[in-house]
Amino acid sequence: MVARDGRFDSLVIGTSTTRLLKPPRLAARFGGRFANLSMNSATAYEAYLIADLFLRREPAPATAIVGIDGQWCLDPSEFSLFSDRPFPPWLYDDDPVNDYANLFSGRAVEIAVNQAGMMLGLIPPRYGIDGYANFLPEASEYDLDRARGHLYGSPTPRPLPDPPEGWRASADPPSPVAERALPAITYLDRLVERLPAETELIAMIAPYHAAHIPPAWRPTGQRLAACKAAVAAAVARHPQGLTVDFMLWSAITREDRHYWDPQHTTVEIADLLVDLLAEAAAGRTDPDGRYRVLGEE
């Protein structure tokens, strides 16, 4: 409904790691009218489908923000088109005939009843008209020990690992891995091809907590670096493409109080991310190293 609404000229797609980006705050920093179309656990294919649906109504968005996280870095053995959560691909095509068989399912009836209740004011809406919803518990319920239990497996923090003796970072950025090794990048390529030159395209690599960002000297860290490079290479093919990397050890990701769990920051940090994205889009570097613009090092 939000993607087809027609009142929005800018969008955010991704998983729950971008659901907390507030459309009014994005509009204040970037201009335009934003819809947040992020979906919990969305695969790259599902994210592309919702973007495709939006683009059929608004083919020349002012700004498109693509949230990048582990879903985009899966190898072929892990990658799938759909997540374990119910996803209705029949709603995303232009064929109304195949809709009828699904309109009387238990799930469809449940959604229709809930929608009627919301329209009548009997049930509070779960989402705003711009797609935004704060899915976190109330801030008053935040407990640092509980958060650390999610981050470390216990309330006791553990230090980040030190590099092995003799290791040094390469001065050269990792070369992108072949697309066959990162099937999700195919859908980023398709999105890049769909967006007109006047659209501002930003790939935002989400800030996982530092304890869950693999070090660069480990194979998992090298694969993450290759994935980031592949994302940056795909986005760079767009005339106004920009890749902003928050998934690094920084003052944001090292601070436990910034997180509810390994992937989800507090609302305050989500607001800060919007501000930092705008700074990066304006061509500014961050003296505190909270983000990097990939491809410009």
* pLDDT at 172 (0 to 100): 56
What burial class does residue 272 get, using C-beta atoms within 10 Å of its C-beta: 0-12 exposed, 13-18 middle, 19+ buried? middle
What burial class does residue 236 get, using C-beta atoms within 10 Å of its C-beta: 0-12 exposed, 13-18 middle, 19+ buried? middle
- The domain locations on the chain are 10-293
The C-alpha angle with vertex 240 and arms to 202 and 43, in degrees rounded to 5, equals 35
> pTM here?
0.92
What is the DSSP pairing of strand 241-245 with strand 200-205?
A: parallel
**Smallest Cα–Cα separation from 74: which of 95, 51, 54, 45?**
45
CATH placement of domain 10-293: 3.40.50
Length of the chain in terms of residues written: 297
- Give per-residue pLDDT as tens, 71-115: 999 999 999 999 988 888 888 887 888 777 777 778 788 888 888
130: number of Cβ within 10 Å: 21
* pLDDT at 101 (0 to 100): 77
- Give per-residue pLDDT as tens, 191-247: 999 999 999 999 999 999 999 999 988 889 989 999 999 999 999 999 999 999 999
- Contact yes or no for 72/185 (Cβ under 8 A): yes
Average pLDDT over residues 241-269: 98
| Whole-number percent of the chain with pLDDT over 70 | 95
Residue 170 banded pLDDT, cuts 50, 70, 90: low
* pLDDT at 180 (0 to 100): 53
**Smallest Cα–Cα separation from 290: which of 266, 280, 168, 264?**
280
33: number of Cβ within 10 Å: 19
Provide the CA 258 distance to its chain's centre, in angstroms.
Answer: 17
Dig out the tokens for 246 from the structure: 């928050």
- Give per-residue pLDDT as tens, 106-144: 878 888 888 899 888 888 888 999 999 999 999 999 999
